[in-house]
Amino acid sequence: MVLAATAPVGQRSRQWQRSVQRRIALTDAFVVAMTMVIAHGLRFGWEPFIPLMGPAAPAYIWATIGISVLWILELGWTRSRDIRIIGSGPDEYQRVLAAGLRTFAIVAVVGFFGGWALSRGYLLFALPVGTLVLFGYRRAWRAWLHTQRKSGRLRQPVIIAGPRRTVAQMVRRLNGDYDHAYSIVGVCLSGARGTATGSNPTVGPLAEDLPDVPVLGSVDDAAVAAQRAGAEYIVLAGNDDVSLAEARRLEWAVEDTGIGLIVVPTVVDVAAPRVLVSQVAGLPLMHVEPPHFSGPSRALKYAADKVGAAGIVLLLALPMLAIAIAVKVTSKGPVLYKQQRVGLDHEPFQMLKFRSMYMDADARRAEALAQDDGNGVLGKRRDDPRITPVGKIIRRYSLDELPQLFNVLKGDMSLVGPRPPLPSETELWDADVFRRQLVRPGITGLWQVSGRSDLSWEESVRLDLHYTHNWTLGLDAVILLRTVWAVVAGKGAY
Residues 448 and 310 reside in one and the same domain: yes
Q: Is residue 66 a part of any domain in this protein?
A: yes
Give the residue, 410 or 221, on which the prediction is more confident.
410
pLDDT bin (cut points 50, 70, 90) of residue 200 is very low
Q: What is the mean pLDDT of the chain?
A: 81
Q: Is residue 104 a part of any domain in this protein?
A: yes
pLDDT in tens, 152-178: 788 888 999 888 888 888 888 888 777
Q: Is residue 17 a part of any domain in this protein?
A: yes
Q: What pLDDT sits at residue 382?
A: 62
Which of 210, 218, 215 lies closest to 175, judged by CA?
A: 210
Residues 449 and 350 reside in one and the same domain: yes
| pLDDT above 60 for 490 | no
Cα–Cα distance measured from residue 149 to residue 268, given in angstroms and rounded to the nearest whole number: 23
Residues 167 and 256 reside in one and the same domain: yes
Residues 194 and 108 reside in one and the same domain: no
Given 97, 130, 150, the domain boundary residue is 150
Q: What pLDDT sits at residue 372?
A: 56
Give the residue, 34 or 448, on which the prediction is more confident.
34
Residues 143 and 170 reside in one and the same domain: no
Residues 455 and 311 reside in one and the same domain: yes
Which of 277, 280, 279, 304 lies closest to 288, judged by CA?
A: 277
Kindly give, in sequence order, each residue whose CB lies less than 8 Å from that of residue 18, ignoring residues fewer than 6 positions away: none
Residues 20 and 39 reside in one and the same domain: yes
For residues 178-184, average pLDDT: 81
What pTM was estimated for this model as a whole? Answer: 0.70
Given 84, 117, 150, the domain boundary residue is 150
pLDDT bin (cut points 50, 70, 90) of residue 484 is confident
Residues 302 and 426 reside in one and the same domain: yes
Residues 221 and 320 reside in one and the same domain: no
Residues 107 and 199 reside in one and the same domain: no
Cα–Cα distance measured from residue 149 to residue 172, given in angstroms and rounded to the nearest whole number: 16
Residues 452 and 319 reside in one and the same domain: yes
Given 150, 178, 196, the domain boundary residue is 150
Write out the residue range of the structural domain in which residue 260 sits: 156-266
What's the first-to-final CA gap in the chain, in angstroms?
Answer: 57
Q: Domain count for the chain, please give it.
A: 3
Q: Is residue 474 a part of any domain in this protein?
A: yes
| pLDDT above 90 for 412 | yes
For residues 355-372, average pLDDT: 71
| pLDDT above 80 for 489 | no
**Pair 215, 187: CB distance under 8 Å:** yes
Q: Return the percentage of the chain with pLDDT > 90, whole number.
A: 23
**Pair 264, 167: CB distance under 8 Å:** no
Q: Which stretch, 20-34, 40-54, 144-158, 366-380, has highest mean pLDDT?
A: 20-34
**Pair 72, 32: CB distance under 8 Å:** yes
| pLDDT above 90 for 202 | no
